Amino acid sequence: MAKQPKQKQLPAKSSGPKPTKQNHPDRDRRVRQADRLARVLRVLELIQSRGRWTTKAIAEEIQCSERTVYRDLDVLRFAGIPYFRDGDQQFVRVRADFRFPVIALNDDEVLGLSLAAVMTKSPGLDVMAGATPATRKLAAVSKEGTQELIDDAMRLVSVLDLKLVDHSRHHEVIRTVQLALLQGKQISGLYESPYESTPVKLKLDPYRLCLIKNAWYIIGKSAGDVEPKTFRVNRFKAVRMREEPATVPEDFDLRTYFGNAWAVFRGDQSYDIELKFSPTAAKVVTETVWHHTQTVKSHKNGSVILSFRVDGLNEILHWILSWAGQVRVQKPDELKDLFIQTLEDAIQMQAAADHGSEQRNLNGGTHES
């Protein structure tokens, strides 16, 4: 009897959902690399300290296997770290006179790091430890001249009165968002918007955390929304990181998202803005780049014309009002009308308040007489 050919078994069809392809392999790889680097540096920190560290003790301290510790020690050896084993218990130590070569910074680099330390201590920017601890660690292991340069720079340079939103109660919120972004996780929290009568519960796929003008913002998409939105950090009552992975488009670009918004809220229509500033204001207003589309045209009489391409008018209107008496809106007509109407409303409000105060004084005087 002829032998029948063996039938090839086909995999059974599954009625369940198909496994999804990993959306962010590069980001996950970077997170793993960062975790490993942090662990290797932690091993280096331990064996440079005065503690008595065996490979087993190191493994228990950083909560990994002893085999992983041996691999990390190999990394340090390849990087030129001169460690050795000391005594009967084979304590791992780094030679006492060794200094890690990466801290050999020139004066410009030291000054840059010192400036970063000063800036990140300023109210509004002090959302985490900032650069100060790293700068102090650098000073501790540097030569005397570098230590003096760091101390002098941090003593003589100051950042004052940035007029940033008070984030002193939101350090934990910002830290949670940073961790969620790095780990690709969703966040949830209670958001107190000035445009809602009661706080709103939000579950977000966070896209970015950014400092814009004078406040920190989270860019993210909430459940049920088609497009991402901008959320102000100081309006969150609390935030926690969820276990669910966040979905973030690979091609998301912050500059594209904001377009030509004057600050954070992008209008539906684009406008070509032209503002003429008096000679008195011209020098001051041109000291700053107010928008990435800004162009400047100077006139012989000292006046200047600033031009912008802006999405929406409300945000730039508030800025123009701060220059009232020194600026004339030349175009568009819509902005010119808004500017005039707002000034007229302000005059009427002030006049009504002054009139009411006058009446109260008169009535009060009549009653007393």
> Which phi and psi (to 5°) does residue 35 adopt?
-60, -40
The single-letter DSSP state of residue 362 is: H
CATH code of 171-250, in short, is 2.30.30
pLDDT tens-digit readout, 226-258:
999 999 999 998 899 999 999 999 999 999 999
Q: Report the side by side order of strands in the sheet with 200-212.
A: 229-232, 215-222, 200-212, 185-191, 236-245
C-alpha 169: how far from its chain's center? 16
Residue 58 has a pLDDT of: 92
The lowest-confidence range among 17-26, 41-50, 69-78, 296-305 is 17-26
pLDDT band at 18 (very low <50, low <70, confident <90, very high): low
114, 148 Cβ separation under 8 angstroms: no
Residue 292 has a pLDDT of: 95
Mean residue pLDDT of the chain comes to: 86
Is this prediction's pTM over 0.75? no
Residue 309 has pLDDT above 60, yes or no: yes
In angstroms, the first-to-last Cα distance of the chain is: 132
Residue 369 has a pLDDT of: 36
Number of H helices, E strands in the chain: 11, 11
Rounded distance between C-alpha atoms, residue 177 and residue 175, angstroms: 5
Residue 129 has a pLDDT of: 73
Concatenated DSSP letters for 178-196? HHHHHHTEEEEEEE--TTS
Residue 101 has a pLDDT of: 55
241, 227 Cβ separation under 8 angstroms: no
pLDDT tens-digit readout, 94-139:
887 776 555 567 888 888 888 888 888 887 787 777 788 878 777 7
Query: What is the pLDDT averaged over residues 351-361?
Result: 80
Residue 280 has a pLDDT of: 95
Rounded distance between C-alpha atoms, residue 149 and residue 66, angstroms: 41
Residue 222 has a pLDDT of: 92
pLDDT tens-digit readout, 177-207:
999 999 999 999 999 988 888 999 999 999 9
Residue 12 has a pLDDT of: 53
Longest dimension (CA), the chain: 132
Helix locations, the chain, DSSP H = 25-48, 55-62, 66-78, 107-119, 132-140, 144-156, 171-183, 254-258, 279-285, 314-321, 333-368
Looking at per-residue pLDDT, the higher value among 36 and 274 belongs to 274
Q: CATH says 43-94 is which class?
A: mainly alpha
Q: Give the chain's length.
A: 369
Highest mean pLDDT of the ranges 74-78, 250-254, 364-368: 250-254
Residue 367 has a pLDDT of: 43
pLDDT band at 307 (very low <50, low <70, confident <90, very high): very high
* Tokens representing residue 23 in the block: 């959306």
Query: What is the pLDDT averaged over residues 54-76?
Result: 92
**Which residue reads 């400036």 in tokens?**
115
The single-letter DSSP state of residue 304 is: E
Residue 64 has a pLDDT of: 92
Residue 147 has a pLDDT of: 80
From the candidate CATH numbers 3.40.50, 3.30.420, 3.30.70, 1.25.40, the one assigned to the domain spanning 270-342: 3.30.70
pLDDT tens-digit readout, 89-99:
889 988 877 76
Residue 42 has a pLDDT of: 87
**How large a percentage of the chain has pLDDT more than 70?**
89
Rounded distance between C-alpha atoms, residue 59 and residue 80, angstroms: 22
Query: What is the pLDDT averaged over residues 352-358?
Result: 81
Rounded distance between C-alpha atoms, residue 292 and residue 304, angstroms: 18
The lowest-confidence range among 5-9, 350-354, 362-366 is 5-9
Residue 219 has pLDDT above 70, yes or no: yes
pLDDT band at 317 (very low <50, low <70, confident <90, very high): very high
Residue 9 has a pLDDT of: 54
321, 336 Cβ separation under 8 angstroms: no
Domains of the chain, residue spans:
43-94, 101-156, 171-250, 270-342
pLDDT tens-digit readout, 250-286:
999 999 999 999 999 999 999 999 999 999 999 999 9
**Cβ neighbours of 326 (radius 10 Å):** 16
Q: Residues 266, 270, 275, CA angle at the centre, nearest 5°?
A: 105
171, 127 Cβ separation under 8 angstroms: yes
The single-letter DSSP state of residue 97 is: T
